């Protein structure tokens, strides 16, 4: 096996590890992350050339995304994971208070009365508008 054949195999395994660690990150950003992790001070053009050798096209936006990802990893506090036994208990729902004085028939009668009242008000508004329109027409004709 030559050195050029071992580089892609190594890159493939490193890329698979990055993909497993960051499953929702685009491939171009993962490639840039790999390049920046090897040399954080690499120029954008050099990073693009290295990515081209790995078979991936990256842009300045990919490099910026990789830098943000590296910054997030650097600023993340090193806290041990909390044991599952200390998890907070599930929230318990309070029982709902029942309204004993309200029944379905009363609600329906109230709704029907409200709708009839609104219908009567709409009817009166329409009748008033028609009277005004007739008065305007009579004044214009007569």
Q: What are the pLDDT digits (tens) for 15-28? A: 888 888 888 888 88
Of 45, 75, 40, 76, the residue nearest 59 (C-alpha): 45
**Domains of the chain, residue spans:** 3-76, 107-142
Q: How far apart are CA 142 and CA 128, in angstroms?
A: 21
What DSSP designation does 41 have? Answer: T
pLDDT at 80: 56
pLDDT at 13: 85
pLDDT at 1: 43
Model pTM above 0.95: no
More confident residue, 9 or 60: 60
Of 5, 9, 10, 69, the residue nearest 37 (C-alpha): 69
Of 79, 69, 77, the residue nearest 31 (C-alpha): 69
Q: What are the pLDDT digits (tens) for 104-124? A: 888 888 889 998 888 888 899
Mean pLDDT of 36-40: 86
More confident residue, 131 or 6: 131
- Percent of the chain surpassing pLDDT 90: 13
Q: How many CB atoms lie under 10 A from the CB of residue 70?
A: 15
Residue 86 has pLDDT above 80, yes or no: no
**Per-residue DSSP letters for 45-104?**
HHHHHHHHHHT----HHHHHHHHHHHHHHHHS---PPPPGGGPPPPPPPPPPPP-TT--H
Mean pLDDT of 25-39: 87
């Amino acid at each position: 096996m030559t050195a050029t054949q071992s580089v892609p195999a190594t890159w493939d395994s490193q890329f698979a590890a990055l993909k497993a660690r960051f499953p929702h990150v685009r491939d171009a950003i993962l490639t840039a992350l790999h390049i920046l992790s090897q040399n954080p001070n690499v120029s954008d053009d050099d990073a693009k050339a290295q990515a081209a050798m790995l078979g991936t096209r990256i842009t300045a936006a990919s490099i910026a995304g990789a830098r943000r990802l590296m910054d997030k990893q650097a600023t993340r506090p090193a806290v041990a994971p909390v044991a599952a036994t200390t998890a907070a208990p599930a929230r318990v729902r309070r029982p709902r208070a029942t309204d004993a004085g309200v029944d379905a028939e009363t609600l329906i009668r109230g709704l029907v009365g409200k709708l009839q009242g609104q219908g009567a008000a709409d009817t009166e508004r329409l009748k008033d508008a028609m009277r005004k329109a007739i008065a305007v027409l009579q004044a214009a004709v007569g």
